[in-house]
Amino acid sequence: MSLRAVVVDDEAPARAKLRRYLAESEGVQWIGEASDGREAVRLIQRDRPDVVFLDISMPGLDGFAVLQALGDPLPAEIVFVTAHDDEAVRAFEVHAFDYLLKPVGPERFARAVARLRDKVAPALGIAGRVDGLLGGAPPPQRYLDRLLLPSGDAAELVRVERIDRIESDRNYLDVYVDGTAYRLRGTLDAMQGRLNPRHFVRVNRSAIVRLDAVREVQPWPDGERRLLMADGARVTWTRRYLANLPEGLSLGA
């Protein structure tokens, strides 16, 4: 069964490019397009596609306003296709499936479609029909598996298991990957909600660590802990946040 796709972009060449990519992709078909946000809302509500390739910057309603108008839960998987690399955290806060940075190449687009097929296609069969008979079930919690990180004039899509820690600095986040810091606009609270708590833990007011990146846990005054990270950084796990310890993990006395 093919995924039914809608393209939303105010630029005709961009829509044409995605139509061409979709025509060359197996297991997905183009069913319509919109050139502005209001038209997109009507199209999505009417045709109920499986996936929407959505631009962010558009006249009238932008991409985020489109999602707000559609309500929660969203009727489709959302793949943002945009020239703006500074909206990645916000995009994943609204549970976007992927974030494609323009100009989108055919290989990157093909990877996104393959992931969509793996995730969405099975649900279009028996499971989807059962869900309809039961009146709809709440969508499962979706955690980030990749994060778009700016790097100079470009951006790199990094798997979250490569992230060692994330530290907040006012309205920005410093994401540490293999000893290199990448800066994003966003809040630690929002990021914490998008990371799997079995692998990432908030250890103090301004830091989240990946547990597998912790090399050593040391006793610290006042019942706190000092973490030695794989990249050599030292992070304090404060008493207030020790309650975040995942089930089955012990730090000792």
Mean pLDDT per 10-residue segment, the chain (253 residues) = 89 94 90 93 91 91 90 84 81 82 90 85 47 42 73 74 92 90 85 87 95 92 91 92 70 55
Judge whether 25 and 51 are in contact, CB under 8 Å.
Answer: no
Burial bucket for residue 108 (CB in 10 Å: 0-12, 13-18, 19+): middle
Judge whether 213 and 229 are in contact, CB under 8 Å.
Answer: yes
Residues sharing a CB contact under 8 Å with residue 45, sequence separation 6 or more, in sequence order = 70, 75
Question: pLDDT at position 131, please?
Answer: 42
Task: Work out whether the CA dihedral 149, 151, 98, 187 comes out positive or negative.
Answer: positive
Q: Which residue, among 27, 28, 31, has the nearest Cα to 6 in the 3D structure?
A: 31
DSSP state of 125: S
Question: pLDDT at position 135, please?
Answer: 44
Q: What is the 3-state secondary structure (H, E, C) of 129-155?
A: HHHHHCCCCCCCCCCCCEEEEEECCEE
Judge whether 117 and 4 are in contact, CB under 8 Å.
Answer: no
Torsion of CA 64, 118, 1, 38, to 10 degrees: 0
Distance CA 163, CA 195 (A): 11
Question: pLDDT at position 8, please?
Answer: 96
Judge whether 157 and 147 are in contact, CB under 8 Å.
Answer: yes
Distance CA 96, CA 90 (A): 9
What's the predicted TM-score (pTM) here? 0.56
Task: Work out whether the CA dihedral 152, 153, 157, 160 comes out positive or negative.
Answer: positive
Residues sharing a CB contact under 8 Å with residue 47, sequence separation 6 or more, in sequence order = 4, 6, 31, 32
Question: pLDDT at position 93, please?
Answer: 75
